[in-house]
Amino acid sequence: MKSLIKILSWLSALCLVILFSCQKQVDKPSQPQSEEVGAANNSGHGHLQQAKTFSSDVVIKWLNLDQDLLRLPLPTGTTVQGGERILAYSGIALYEAVVKGMPAYQSLSGQLTDFPTMPSTDPGKAYHWAAAANAALAQETRYLFDTASSSTNLTIKQQRLDKINALEKSLEDTYATEVDAATLQRSISFGKDVASRVSFWADNDGYKLQGGAYTPPPPTLQQPWLWVPTAPAPAAPINPYVSLRRLLVPRSDNGATIASFPSFSTTAGSEFYEMANDVYTKSQSLSAEQKNLALYFRDATEPGYYGGSGHYIAILPQIISKSGVALDIAALAFAKSGIAVNDAFVVGFRTKYTFNLLRPITYIRNFMGHPAWSPLFATPNHPEFPSAHSFHAGGFFTGLADVFGDNFEFIDNTYANLSTSLGTLQPLTFHSFTELKKAIGDSRVYAGIHYAPSCAKGIQLGEKVGQNVLNTLKFLKE
């Protein structure tokens, strides 16, 4: 009997030990899986397959297509979207289409001016983030390049649409081999919904109001420095009412002011005269490298060039490709640089029409005694101060430097081997974004269309706007 009691006591103790051990095992938190392992083991739950597991190829391909579309001739009486606007709205649509697959990041809803609420993903459902990005960029590109307004424009509109549809379909076919049909369709629908909301929001930003008839105030004895249009009539001044454009980021113009140009003078040795004489003197002895730099950033609406800030659309995929980043960081860089360059554009052109300063061609011909002098190529038809290329660069590269760091080395092949009437262009090597910004400013002085201080101050203005954008927007969750 005693032996039986001992055996029962021993069994009871053993059960208690086993029960206690099991309880400890249940209460013990499981070791976290790596994101990659989690994604592989939970293919049916898309939120575990994050955007960073996808390639940035989809972004690069759409930016390259934007360049192809910008090369197409413009229909009579129409203008393509400015490069800054393509970068901004495509970048925002892309970011919002993939941010749900970036756990540390958040939507820009409630942060951008009047920005609508973005659609929600289905909880627990899988998403193919590259497919969502493809759908969003296709939809946004259709909106941004839809410039046809009459039957004479339909051919070019169709050419653009065919290119957009072809790239979208090609990428969709690729993604169909990587994921089930339901997940693919869910991802496509989500991306299109995002882009539709972004496009509707973009359509009310005042872009359609920035052009129009404008007669600049003529120079007077009291104000001889006032800008005189450099293109003969009927060419219209460019972007005279850009002040009607909405800033994408509230108060991105805070403190974005620059000191005025030197007091106007026609006296040799005065600061204003020497500022113009610097342009003239350099124009007389341009080196092959200086001429190549000037022509490289000509960026006119001419064969082979992308026009205006379109050059930055060509630089961005080169930076993304060189960096080797995945879809998540590519989307972040696209959004930051696009928003920054857009607001720098608005603030910069507002500033131009506030100062209304004459161009070097007018001063050198009329006040320096060189009536036959001409710049390397035609002067853009808007006021001189500050330089538009420079404030574009200041904003755009401030956004990129925030993602990749300033000391980013790359070769700009945008116009490499492009044959122009003034020579065949050579690629440019840069060791930092700061070096690139200065080169862009210098290029406009070598071309004879800007004074050096206008370029330095333009970069400063763009950088301030870009920094305001970065300081205001919260991409990371707090």
> DSSP H helical segments within 53-153, as ranges?
57-71, 83-98, 129-144
Q: How confident is the model at residue 21 (pLDDT cuts 50, 70, 90)?
A: very low
Domain shared by 160 and 281, yes or no: no
Q: Which amino acid is at 4?
A: L
Tell me which residue range forms the domain holding 196: 50-202
| pLDDT of 227 above 80 | yes
Domain shared by 138 and 220, yes or no: no
Domain shared by 92 and 127, yes or no: yes
Q: What SS3 state is found at 226?
A: strand
- φ, ψ dihedrals at 428, nearest 5°: -120, 135
| Residue 381 domain flag | yes
Answer yes or no: are the C-beta atoms of 439 and 429 closer than 8 Å: no
CA distance 192 to 447: 43
Domain shared by 143 and 239, yes or no: no
pLDDT tens string 50-108: 999 999 999 999 999 999 998 877 655 445 568 999 999 999 999 999 999 999 999 99
List beta partners, residue 420. 423
Domain shared by 287 and 340, yes or no: yes
Domain shared by 281 and 421, yes or no: yes
Q: Write out the two tokens for 1.
A: 């009997």
Domain shared by 251 and 359, yes or no: yes
CA distance 229 to 261: 19
Domain shared by 86 and 158, yes or no: yes
CA distance 140 to 156: 18
Domain shared by 278 and 198, yes or no: no
- Give residue 177's Cα distance to chain centre: 31
Q: How confident is the model at residue 341 (pLDDT cuts 50, 70, 90)?
A: very high
Q: What SS3 state is found at 335?
A: helix
pLDDT value for 233:
79
Token look-up 């490709």 returns: 321
pLDDT value for 48:
61
| Residue 102 domain flag | yes
Domain shared by 292 and 400, yes or no: yes
pLDDT tens string 391-420: 999 999 999 999 999 999 999 999 999 999
| Residue 191 domain flag | yes
| Residue 114 domain flag | yes
Tell me the average pLDDT across 265-289: 98
| Residue 25 domain flag | no
Contacts of 277 (CB under 8 A, 6+ apart): 268, 368
Q: What is the CATH number of the domain that holds 306?
A: 1.10.606.20
Domain shared by 186 and 255, yes or no: no
What does the DSSP 8-state code read for residue 99? G
Q: Which of 202, 228, 248 is the last residue of a domain?
A: 202
CA distance 216 to 201: 31
| Residue 112 domain flag | yes
Domain shared by 181 and 287, yes or no: no
| Residue 35 domain flag | no
| pLDDT of 152 above 80 | no
CA distance 306 to 457: 25
pTM of the model: 0.89
First-last CA distance in the chain: 68
Using only the alpha carbons of the chain, give its radius of gyration.
28
| pLDDT of 25 above 80 | no
pLDDT value for 31:
30
Q: Which amino acid is at 459?
A: I
Q: Which amino acid is at 197?
A: R
Q: How many domains does the chain have?
A: 2
| pLDDT of 313 above 90 | yes
| Residue 342 domain flag | yes
Q: Which of 168, 202, 236 is the last residue of a domain?
A: 202
Q: Which of 175, 202, 229 is the last residue of a domain?
A: 202
- Kindly report which listed range (45-49, 71-75, 114-118) carries the lowest average pLDDT score: 45-49
Answer yes or no: are the C-beta atoms of 94 and 226 closer than 8 Å: no
CA distance 472 to 247: 13
pLDDT value for 359:
98
Q: Write out the two tokens for 324.
A: 């080797």
